[in-house]
Amino acid sequence: MPDYGHRLQFATFPEPSAPPPLGPVDLAVLSEEWGYDLVMFQDHPYRPEYLDVWTLMSWAAARTSRIHVAPNVLNMAMRSPALVAKSAASIDLLSGGRFELGLGAGFLGNEIAAMGFPH
């Protein structure tokens, strides 16, 4: 296996479902307690049972002190690049540099179109 000079990191991937509302945040806290490096959340704005990823990452970052937070991946088909940059910078500053950004083009075209966005 090649060595790229980076430390191997481990992540958890809690489902961002709303019932119970703090469930994914509690899993982020447990992930930090168990020694994971990163907690990542799905971004599916068209799924009503899922929490908003920006709000969820902010809550997770506020309830933890070491673990990094990230979207896996952020659905850019439904977001302004300028607002994403502002939100990402804000979470990164407020969390003390514990935000990682993952971007994607958006996969579920029909759901994206149903919310009024081109795909």
Over the stretch 8-27, which tens digit does the pLDDT of each residue have? 999 999 999 988 889 999 99
Q: In this predicted structure, what is the pLDDT of residue 114?
A: 77
pLDDT band at 94 (very low <50, low <70, confident <90, very high): very high
Give the domain ranges of the chain: 11-114
Q: What is the pLDDT of residue 86?
A: 97
According to the model, what pLDDT value does residue 32 have?
Answer: 98
Confirm if 53 and 17 have CB atoms less than 8 A apart: no
Write the DSSP assignment of 45-113 as a string of letters.
TT-TTBPPHHHHHHHHHHH-SS-EEEESSEEGGGS-HHHHHHHHHHHHHHTTS-B---EE--S-HHHHH
Nearest-angstrom CA–CA distance, 90 and 73? 18
Mean per-residue pLDDT for 82-86?
97
Tell me the average pLDDT across 30-59. 95
Against a cut of 0.85, is the pTM above it? yes
pLDDT of residue 23: 95
Mean pLDDT of the chain: 92
In this structure, the number of other CB atoms found within 10 A of the CB of residue 2 comes to: 4
